[in-house]
């Protein structure tokens, strides 16, 4: 499954909002330093979809706010 996400780092709380059509808005408390925000986004998506973190890969947007993920369900 391909999922698009707009990531908001340095947020007050961690949250995943489903905006429809496989598009999500994800807020994370982590700073975008050394990949910490990306790791936290993967943790949140894994919990949201009830899959292992190993089943989620960043396909595009590793250093930007708009990201594309592949999720093996």
pLDDT in tens, 11-51: 999 999 999 999 999 999 999 999 999 999 999 999 999 99
pLDDT on residue 73: 85
pLDDT on residue 39: 96
Taking the domains of the chain in order of start, what are their residue ranges? 2-71
Which string of b and e fits 29-50 if b means at least 16 CB within 10 Å? ebeeeeeebbebbbebbbeebe
Residue 3 pLDDT more than 90? yes
> pTM (2 decimals)?
0.92
Establish how many alpha carbons lie within 13 A of residue 51's alpha carbon, considering only the half-sphere containing its beta carbon: 14
| 2-71 CATH, one of 3.30.470.10, 3.60.70.12, 3.90.25.10, 3.30.1200.10 | 3.30.1200.10
pLDDT on residue 43: 96
Identify which of 24, 17, 32 has the alpha carbon closest to the alpha carbon of residue 71: 24
54-59 CB contacts, 8 Å cutoff, 24+ apart: 59/2
């Amino acid at each position: 499954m391909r999922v698009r996400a707009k990531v908001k780092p340095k947020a007050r709380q961690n949250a995943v909002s489903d905006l429809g059509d496989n598009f999500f808005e994800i807020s994370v408390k982590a700073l975008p330093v050394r990949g910490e925000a990306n790791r936290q986004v993967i943790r949140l998506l894994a919990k949201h979809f009830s899959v292992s973190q190993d089943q989620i890969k960043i396909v595009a947007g590793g250093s930007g706010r708009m990201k594309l993920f592949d999720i093996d369900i």
